[in-house]
A = this chain, B = another copy of it.
């Protein structure tokens, strides 16, 4: 007999929050009740739940919101997660958090269900959902890591504006419309025009001159693969694309793994779809991967500049597998493993 579960989505009016609700409905997540929370500003509005016209009334997120809630999916930014996730756990609610707030906290597992589901086993109430760019990369690299080991990764990203949420989508739309209607246009969300431009900055700069986004790819990859010997260097750029991040990934393995072997392994890998017949125009394209669940990989080829190298082209829907779907898959795994309970309600209360 399934346990009765009350599930909440926190940040339900955002791009990822809406996709979380859609994904819970689509995948028939075993919830008895689903609640939607957002800031006071959005309270009282309605958000769709499922394709059948069902809507949820958005409630204001408050400190006492988590009473009676078993599982909460957070996607409301780092400040909200920092404040409210410990309160949720204190109320007995398990949190799957999509912000960066808890990802590198040693108390919190950082989970991609295809890659490290066992990291859930001893969770303390908060499970972190990795950064979108990291998720799609590790889904593809894990089978390669298992087969040949990974020494070093050099990744360059081509990231969609939906990674910035609905305001990023609106910014690109408005700028293109302005330009094609001979109107002046100016940036508001990004530091420069994103239409017909490439912005080599995602998130803020750190002391080492890398962006926070780039260091997420470095540090989260090591944490998820649980191997500090995996070295990563990243360049993250925003491109004028609405949905799906693309990544050019160069990987140096410990042991030789030929491109054809990698292709065969990836064809069997969970959550991966190989699109790799370039002469026929078969390779992953953001436009074609949008709205899809898998992580797509193609352009798999031997790197002829080193002995044990591969080049890969990885594309996934950043709002879906990069955020909402991965969070829902973590929730499903928690249910499957019977882990929707908080062992110690005070772990995150200072």
Interface residues of A, Cβ cutoff 8 Å to B: 152-154, 156, 158, 176-177, 180, 191-193, 196-201, 205, 208-211, 218, 231-233, 235, 237, 239-242, 246, 248, 250, 259, 278-279, 281, 283-288, 298-306, 309, 311, 313, 315
Copies in the complex: 2
Q: With A205-B278, A306-B152 in contact, do A196 and B242 touch (Cβ < 8 Å)?
A: yes
Check A313 against B200 for contact (C-beta < 8 Å).
yes
Q: Which of B154, B199, B239, B240 contacts A154 (CB 8 A)?
A: B154
Check A240 against B241 for contact (C-beta < 8 Å).
yes
Check B301 against A200 for contact (C-beta < 8 Å).
no
9 residue pairs, one from A and one from B, having the closest CB atoms = A156-B156, A231-B305, A156-B248, A235-B248, A233-B305, A209-B301, A197-B287, A154-B154, A191-B281
Check A305 against B200 for contact (C-beta < 8 Å).
no
Given contacts A196-B241, A240-B240, 15 further A-B contacts (CB under 8 A): A154-B250, A158-B158, A180-B180, A198-B239, A198-B285, A200-B246, A200-B285, A209-B299, A211-B278, A231-B304, A231-B306, A233-B311, A235-B311, A235-B313, A239-B240
Secondary structure call for the A interface: mixed
A231 proximity list for chain B (CB < 8 A) = 304-306
Minimum CB distance partner of A153 in chain B: B305
Check B198 against A286 for contact (C-beta < 8 Å).
yes
Check A210 against B301 for contact (C-beta < 8 Å).
yes
A237 proximity list for chain B (CB < 8 A) = 158, 246, 248, 313
Check A200 against B239 for contact (C-beta < 8 Å).
no
In the complex, A308 Cα to B217 Cα: how many Å? 20
The interface centre, meaning the residue of A152, A193, A287 with most chain B CB atoms within 10 A of its CB, is A287
Check A283 against B201 for contact (C-beta < 8 Å).
yes
In the complex, A196 Cα to B306 Cα: how many Å? 34
Q: Give chain B nearest CB distance to A223 CB in angstroms.
A: 16
A233 proximity list for chain B (CB < 8 A) = 250, 303-306, 309, 311
Check B201 against A278 for contact (C-beta < 8 Å).
yes
In the complex, A210 Cα to B313 Cα: how many Å? 12
Minimum CB distance partner of A200 in chain B: B313
Q: Give chain B nearest CB distance to A205 CB in angstroms.
A: 5
Minimum CB distance partner of A191 in chain B: B281
In the complex, A333 Cα to B44 Cα: how many Å? 71
